[in-house]
Structure 1
Amino acid sequence: MIVSNVSLSGCAGFNSALCAGPAEGHQGGGSHRTTLTPTGNLVVAVCLGFIGTFGLLNNLLVLVLFCRYKMLRSPINLLLINISISDLLVCVLGTPFSFAASTQGRWLIGEVGCVWYGFANSLFGIVSLISLAVLSYERYSTMMTPTEADSSNYCKALLGITLSWVYSLIWTMPPLFGWSSYGPEGPGTTCSVDWKAKTANNISYIICLFVFCLILPFLVIVFCYGKLLCAIRQVSGINASMSRKREQRVLFMVVVMVICYLLCWLPYGIMALLATFGPPGLVTPEASIIPSVLAKTSTVINPVIYVFMNKQFYRCFQALLRCDTPLRGSSLKSSSKVPTKAMRGVAVTGPRRTNDFLFMVASLGQPAATMPQLGASFEATNDVTKAPSSDANQPVVVSLVAHFDG
């Protein structure tokens, strides 16, 4: 996809003029001189070294925490682990080769290695993007489920993980069989889909890739988290100041997710379309390397946004540093819920504890029985000790728990 984590324009193939530099003795004729200056190669190598190192450390730490602490082994956290695994594979099987090529000023592992690199990085990149969309949909769908999600049921999470890998394979295998192709791109130190060929075969693939592997996941993420925000606003009448604070917190989380998604992938997608549909030479190799590096930063950013901003993982991380037992200050539920059918005279059962991303929490209209226990920081503004009225004109009760934590 637009997610192969490599640059977007440049060589149309191994026989193009851009890549026709001296092989300098490497077998297979697959070593091609980069078009960047030595200083440009150095800057790219430093950026890739930083991204590869911190991406590797961040995602490894996520896996260590997941394996070390049982409290993290919930279905929704399994989706987070899938994102970390795909990002980790990019850091292990992709970034080192482009880093080495930048330090040497040429592609080093030949023609077959270039095709493998383009395929592997496209596969892992799309898996990461689709997993983000599946994660947002899981939170939305379980929030709208009338019953409490079973935190021991991993079938739904495993289905989502399988879907992300199968979907990615569906869109990354066609270039291996003739629908477009993989080859060197940009300054000649990375490989990806051939964005520059003007054939109907290639253009049709690029359009499908852009729509189904970049735009579609983005729309799913915006829709699902937008619905969560709307649900939170519906309960703002319980305690105006507390609800406003929680609403702002959710809004901040959603805005960060969307901005980082767009920052990492939108420049890549735009450059790909310009290289595909624009006139020759519109996208220079030097310009195309910038969105390539931005796309790779997702391997560093994803663990921070989706994991280390998660209170469960953060408490376990603190415990790991102290060689201690993590504090159990947050709910370990894997999902969210919102009863979608009107309920009257039904008690809200079971305590509910909150954390930074467990948003609410309330009843619309007159409380039916008792409010859920929310912890010391919550002060109810209504009298929650009154029994439900039998008056048919009393407002219906809708309870809401929107769990962003996982």
Structure 2
Amino acid sequence: MVELPLHESQCTGAPLDSAHRIYLGVSLIVLGTVGVAANGWLVRGSLTSPLLTMKTHLLMLNLAITCLGRGLLAGFPFAGSSTLAGRWLFGKECCQFFAFLLQFFGMSQVAAITILAVERAVVARHSETFLSMQQYVTGILLCWISAAVWATPPLLGWGRYGCDPTAMSCSLEWSPNTDFSSSVYNICLLTLGGALSATIMCVSVWCAVSSEGKRSLQSAGTDIDCPSQRVLTKTVGVLVPGLCLMWLPQTLLIFWVVTGTPLPTALAIIAAVSSEASAVVPILACLACDKNMRKALFGILGTSTSSTGKQDNFLGDDAI
């Protein structure tokens, strides 16, 4: 069992033994590197391949960017090296900034997948033409704005950034001994940013999947590309439960920390590893379910694809 670290100006006195630190540090570095490479691959494919021309692919691109940003700026380069060293290596100010970026990109991921799930539900019940390009761009902007809104209060005294339960990295503190303002922020984050978002994701995906058959019948004889829409819905239907499953250990860790009881070493390690590994879920879902995505991604590995008409497709509804 791991004793939770006290709030300190710098993270010291890691409660994990050397064997666990090495295992965790190597896992974070390996998974983080794979996640960055995978999302960089997905971003490049989304930007350069003429096969990915549907407006929904903009939302997939947005999700890949959030995963890429988290991996590079709030992931393994800092957490992995500090874990191997057994302490936070980068000082108090960097700890605050790292935790802020971790919260920012984490909430942007939640918002990105929530918007993607809602979009699938709307498209499944109507059609892609029901949503304009302006609405897609607005949704992406709201994703980043909401992430900034959630990540900023701890810098202003509502909530607190500090050492995480392993005392080798930094994150939002969930200690039960926080002040009133921090408790209010943590509760709002759990209920609105966490539980409500997860509920919207799951309900939206269920509505999208259940509506696909009806939409296919209604679109018979029209020029609406039902097979492509079904593939995208299937991709999101795999993506949402996959990410929720990867986020579950971190959620359990938070509730365990709130109780103030000693934290199991296994849970601390699994939560950190699964959180880092979650960045790989989007590309795995795309490769498993989306034939066009597979062609686009594998195509850029061996041959260069023409991007002619790519911007026209993204900027105009007629081409979509």
| TMscore range, shorter length | 0.7 to 0.9
Once the two structures are superposed, residues 110-161 of structure 1 have per-residue CA deviations (whole angstroms, 9 ceiling, x without a partner) of: 11111111110111011011100101111222333378357xx531221111
Q: 1:119 corresponds to which residue?
A: 100
Larger radius of gyration: 1
Q: 2:82 corresponds to which residue?
A: 101
Structure 1 254/302 Cα, relative in aligned 2: closer, same or farther at 3 Å? closer
CA contact (8 A) 1:184 1:191 kept: yes
Q: Distance in 2 between matches of 1:115 and 1:146?
A: 44
CA contact (8 A) 1:9 1:196 kept: no
CA contact (8 A) 1:12 1:195 kept: no
Which residue of 44, 53, 60 corresponds with 1:64? 44
Q: 2:207 corresponds to which residue?
A: 227
Structure 1 186/285 Cα, relative in aligned 2: closer, same or farther at 3 Å? farther
Structure 1 285/321 Cα, relative in aligned 2: closer, same or farther at 3 Å? closer
CA contact (8 A) 2:232 2:290 kept: no
Which ranges in structure 1 are unaligned for 5 or more consecutive residues? Answer: 1-7, 16-29, 239-245, 327-332, 335-405
Q: 1:44 corresponds to which residue?
A: 24
Q: 1:137 corresponds to which residue?
A: 118
1:211 lines up with 2:194 in the alignment: no
Matched residues, number = 298
Report how far residue 258 of structure 1 moved.
4.0
- Paired AA for residue 79 in structure 1: L
Report how far residue 255 of structure 1 moved.
5.8
Q: 2:140 corresponds to which residue?
A: 161
Say which SS state the counterpart of residue 13 (structure 1) adopts: coil
| TM-score (ref. length: structure 1) | 0.66
Report how far residue 306 of structure 1 moved.
4.1
Structure 1 142/286 Cα, relative in aligned 2: closer, same or farther at 3 Å? closer
- Paired AA for residue 176 in structure 1: L
Larger proportion of helix: 2
The aligned runs of 1:319-330 (5 Å cut-off) are: 319-323=299-303
Which ranges in structure 2 are unaligned for 5 or more consecutive residues? Answer: 219-227, 307-312, 315-319
Q: 1:266 corresponds to which residue?
A: 248
Report how far residue 311 of structure 1 moved.
2.0
| TM-score (ref. length: structure 2) | 0.82
Query: CA-atom RMSD, angstroms?
Result: 3.1
1:194 lines up with 2:173 in the alignment: yes
CA contact (8 A) 1:131 1:161 kept: yes
Q: Distance in 2 between matches of 1:275 and 1:91?
A: 24
Instruction: Please say which of residues 251-260 and 69-78 is displaced more in the overlay.
Output: 251-260
Q: 1:291 corresponds to which residue?
A: 271
- Paired AA for residue 174 in structure 1: P
Say which SS state the counterpart of residue 297 (structure 1) adopts: helix
Say which SS state the counterpart of residue 32 (structure 1) adopts: coil
Structure 1 266/286 Cα, relative in aligned 2: closer, same or farther at 3 Å? closer
Runs of 4+ in 1 over 4 A off after TM superposition: 233-238, 248-255
Q: 2:309 corresponds to which residue?
A: none
Q: 1:20 corresponds to which residue?
A: none
- Paired AA for residue 73 in structure 2: L
